Every structure is written in C-alpha cells, then in structure tokens.
Structure 1
Amino acid sequence: MGQDFARLHHIGHVVSDMAQAITLYERLGFVVPPPSCPAMPLHEGTAPRPFGAANTHADFPRSFLELVTCVKDSDTDGLPADAHLVPLQAPPGLLPHLVERINETSANVAAFLQRFEGLHILMFSSPDIDAAAARLTATGVRHGGVNTVRRAAPPGAGTPVETVRYLEIDGDEPGGRRGSVAEGRVGVVADLDPDIQGARHLDHPNGAVDLVEAVLCVADEELTTVRDRYTRYLGHSARPQGPAQVLDLDGAALTLVPASGLAALLPGEQPATLPALAGYTVAVRDLSLTRDLLHRNGLPTRETPSGDIFVPADAALGTAVVFRQAALQS
C-alpha cells in the first residue's frame, strides 16, 4: 500500500442553506460550530462583506466532516446570524491571486450544487504530501500542485496559526474544471496536527469518533475505469466485496459501488446522478445509544446488511449518513 495516502481526511457536504444544514447535523448528534466565511470590502473604505464559500466542521481526532455553501454577491441569507467573517489579509501583490482562488472554489461549489445537494468533496490524509504530489505526477495524475494556507488556530492550541497544505486532482475530461473530477473535488491534505485538532470540540452526543468510509456510486460500465483511477491516486489495489470494489486505508475505506449494487449496500438508496458520492460512515462508541438519539430527534433510520444504521439521503440533504460500531481498542 502507498504510504503517502494514509486515511480519510474529510468529506465535504455541499448545501444550499448553511443554517438548515447545521440544524440537521445537530439532530444527527454532531457538534458543529458557527461557520466561517472570507470577507473583504467591496469598495475602499467600506466594511468587509462575505463572499466565496462558507464552511464549518464536525471534528474528530484525525478527520472531520465539512459543511460548505456558496455566498452569492454578499447575500448572507443562507448563513446563521453567528457566522464568523474572516477578513482577507495578504500582501497587496498576493491578494488578487487569493481572491481568484476563493472565487474559483466558490464557482466549483456552485457547480456541485447544480448537480445535486449532497457530498461532493473527498480528501485523503497524507503524512508526506510532497511525496504524494511527486508520485501522482509520476503516474500521470494531473493536479494543481501543493497549496499552503494559514489560518488562526483554535483557542487552547499550542500555536496561534494553523498551516494547511493540500492539493486538488484535476479531471481528464474535456472542459473539466481545475481542481475537480467527475464526482467532485478530490485531493489530499497533510495530516491534521494532533495538538491543534485536540483543541477543537471532539466530543459529540452521537458518540462519533472518526470518519471511516466514503461510498462512491458509479455507472456499472464505469466501475473498472473508476477503480483503476483511484488505484493510481492511492497507490495500491482494490479488493472485491460483493458488487463493490474497496480501497482500504488506515482504519477506513473508499467503497466503489456500481449503481446496480447500491441498494444492496445501502437499502433503499438511489444515486442522485452518476458518478456520485452517495454516503459516508462514521464510527461511534455505542451504536445502540446513537440509534436512540436519532430516534429521539425524529430522524428515520435503516439498517445495512452488515448491521450499520443510516439516515437515508432524502432525510439528510442528499447524502446517506451511516453509523458503525467502533472497533474495540486492544
């Protein structure tokens, strides 16, 4: 197995209304802080206004779930009142480039929403992102190179600044967007800093402790092609599991399932379109307690053949949210 793609870093749930999405995630039992959004003055001497894309996280020790939405023309109607505006700060020579990148990200998010509301972001974690970038280039995978951004670290961290290094994979299809493949935004991020991540809120009422699976549904005739593509990305082969192909990671997995097999994996689910990230799985401390919480909060649940429970996509803004009993620690 390639050592430069270690596990799942985060998935991104793209939504049209951030306030509605946060309410949903709280009902699912996650702690979600107010979202952040970049801001800058529209005209000299005016107050900063939000633009681009707003996001927030439900955090675990080594992974997280991201909620993302577009902010159109300073329209904050879809943002909660407590959203945190982050004024852009960069040297004058770099500011236009930064604004361009933010607008590019926002355009991708808008394009994702036009496809469907749901999962469109899949990022892997790497202990050596420069090695990952070099290997991807050597195997013919197009990408935009390693980017570095810095943001304020959470209170209680041992450093005031968090450095995030990441790359986005470019699609091969004609006319495709930079930083986007057919199923959405896919890439790799340097491993989370344990000290910084430990300063975030990691205790969720549903008992979730880690992101352990992402499910990508593809057309039956495309399964082999997509499997081969992700084999190149991750640097190791897949294994068959029923109708699916599974790429194992450190304590997690990417499951590729043909459209004809999705209902066998997640009963009752149908893809919004193809290809589509159809769902994700989190490990929880006590699955029975998680089930009770979901029922108390009025959310419908179904059970998978393997005994996991999930909230179906039509009740969770376009993605199946799966809960799995965490493995016992020896």
Structure 2
Amino acid sequence: MHLHHVGHVVRDIGAAITLYRRMGFVLPPAAFPALAPAPGMQPRAFGAGNTHVTLGRNFVELVAIADAPPEGSTLVPLDAPPAALERLAAGITATAARLTAALARFEGLHILVLGTQDADAAAARLTAAGVRHDGVQRLHRPSATGGAPVPIGFLEFDPDAPEGRLALAEDLPDGERPEHPNGALDLVDSVLCVPDAELRGHVGRYERYLDRSAEGDGPVRTFELDGGRITVVAASGLDAVLPGERPPVLPAFAGFVLSVRHLDATRRLVAGAGFPLRVTPSGEVFVPAVAAFGAAVAFRQAA
C-alpha cells in the first residue's frame, strides 16, 4: 500500500494553480464537468473541477466547486444515456455538496487516497476489520498506450471520518510525468493532526485501515507504507513535525511532504518566488499553510 494522492480543496482554483506554479510545479488548467441547462444550449460547468500535480508514482489534486471556472479551464461535456446521465449528475452534485461542507470547516487538505494493487482484496480486508465502505467501483481511465480504456478499482471508506474523505484506488496507468522545476519527485508523507486526548483513538482507526501497527511513541506516530508514510500527531507535538502550524479545527490534515532531487535548489527556487519558508527538526523545508491556501507544503531530500 502506498500514498495515491492527497486532495487540496480551495475556493479559487485559478489562484491556487498560479500559486503552485510559482512554487515550481507543472500542472495543467483545471477541468470541469459540463452539462447543458436545456436541450440546444451550450454546456456549462457544474459540480466540481480539478487539476493534478503529477508525480512519479502519485499526485497532488487541486479541487474546487464550479462556481466560476477560471479563464482557460477545460469543460468536459457529459455524454451518456438519459438515465445514466441523471445518476452521474446526481453523483457530481453530491460530491460538490461534500466539498462545500469541507470548505465550511477550512480551506486546505480534505482528501487522502491510498494506493493498492487489488481494490477487491482491500475491500474484503476493510470489511473484516469492521470498516464501512461503499464497495469497489470500476472507473475507466485512458490507456497510456492509446489502447482500450483501463478499468481502475476505487472505493471510499469510513464516511464518518472527521478529517475528510478517505479512499483506496488501484494504480493509474503509466503516463507522461512532467519535470517540475522545483525537482519534486513523489508524495512521501501525509500529516494528520489530532487533539491530544484523541490520539490513541485516531491511531487505532488507521491501524484498522492499514492493517499494521503505528511506529513511535509520545505525540508522534507513523505508519510506514511502500515509499511513503502517514504521520498522525497530537496537536501538542505538531511543532516537531511542522513547526508553527496550527490547524483551525481538529482533526485535520495539516500538510504533506514531497521528495525532491536537490533540496537546496528547491529551497532557492521557492524562496526566490517570494514564499516564506520554515525548517523542520529533521531538516525539511516547507511553505506554511497560511501562505498556501491552508495546506503546509513540505520538501524532503530524496534518499
């Protein structure tokens, strides 16, 4: 199991794209689903749109409600039989409502998706552990070789998780991965901050999700994954992970960490773009949440 992606929910996706590009990331314009209000009318964006920072094995998603898509956004008209289109539109509307509720908590990280090779086996394991889920859905993604679309297993689990949307997904087909000017390679850590008195309960939840025990003691616990980790930290210990960060509500995903080719070069590029930088006790550098739409973005030297 590994980190598949994290989702950064923002109010203004155009401004967020500009900010991420300033930090040295390559990412395309946002894409929004579109429906015609009535037969014969032009399709209009609705629901929610997104774009991705594509990395070596995973990605960071930017997502926003389709109130006013920024100039240059891509509209993706939905084309399906009427009955299927109605179900699809209802699903997109429900997703938009969840994102609206997330933004009411705070602007920042509200999505964590774990990668798995076998979604059906993962679903069976969650069921055995007593974790609620909605069953495996098969989404079709374009093939990297131009052949038939590839089915990707996906399931959401524990819909009552207070920190946000949790899901499992099979790996995406290999595709083109941009060279990011900041040297970003992979998503390697997701940091969940929880109230001190609730640390044991949240760690126990993730032990059931991941079928493994947490490492460490005290206020900081980690779950080692394939090529990455999840860090669960009590609020009193957050300075040991992301100094100076104070999530507006708890529990909350406070930030994420990316591996980079050359940390010194990344530091120079990000600082040169005008971002404030802080340093963690382990030597990582990060843009604080206050300067990045509610999500601390950290950089770690790749091994």
Query: TM-score if structure 2 supplies the norm length?
Result: 0.96
Distance change >3 Å, CA 110–CA 305, structure 1 → 2: same
Q: Distance in 2 between matches of 1:241 and 1:320?
A: 24
SS of structure 1 residue aligned to 2:99: helix
Cα deviation 1:3-44 (Å, max 9, x = unaligned): xxx100000000000110001100111101011110011111
- Alignment match of 1:63 (pick from 38, 47, 58): 58
Match of 1:176 in 2: none
SS in 2 for 1:253: strand
What is the correspondence of 1:267-306 to structure 2 with a 5 Å cutoff?
A: 267-306=243-282
Match of 1:124 in 2: 114
* Aligned residue among 9, 16, 19 for 2:11: 16
Give yes or no for the alignment of 1:149 onto 2:144.
Answer: no
Match of 1:265 in 2: 241
> Which residue in the other structure is 1:47 paired with?
42
CA pair 44-151 structure 1, distance change in 2 beyond 3 A: farther
| Separation in structure 1 between the aligned mates of residue 17 and residue 217 of structure 2, nearest angstrom | 34
State the 1:60 CA deviation. 1.0
**Contact 2:113 2:167 (C-alpha < 8 Å) held by counterparts:** yes
Structure 1 CA distance for aligned equivalents of residues 158 and 77 of structure 2:
29
Question: What is the match of residue 30 of structure 1?
Answer: 25
Offset, 1:90: 2.0
Percent identity for Structure 1 against Structure 2:
52
Letter in 2 for 1:322: A
Matched residue, 1:104: 94
Q: What do the CA deviations read for 1:126-172 (whole angstroms, capped 9, x no partner)?
A: 0001100111112111111112223555xx64336354331111334
SS in 2 for 1:93: helix
* Structure 1 runs not aligned, ≥5 long: 1-5, 173-180
Code of the residue aligned with 1:285 in structure 2: it is: R
SS in structure 1 at match of 2:124: helix
In the alignment, residue 64 of structure 1 is paired with which amino acid? F
Once the 2 structures are TM-superposed, how far is the Cα of residue 272 of structure 1 from its aligned partner?
1.5
Count of aligned positions = 303
TM-score (norm 1): 0.89
Q: Which runs of 5+ in 2 are unaligned?
A: none
Q: Within the alignment, does 1:158 sit opposite 2:157 as a pair?
A: no
Within-5 A mapping of 1:214-233: 214-233=190-209
SS of the counterpart of 1:226? Answer: helix
Regions of 4+ moved over 4 Å? none
Aligned to 1:189: 169
Amino acid across the alignment from 1:263: D
Give the C-alpha shift of residue 66 in structure 1.
Answer: 0.2
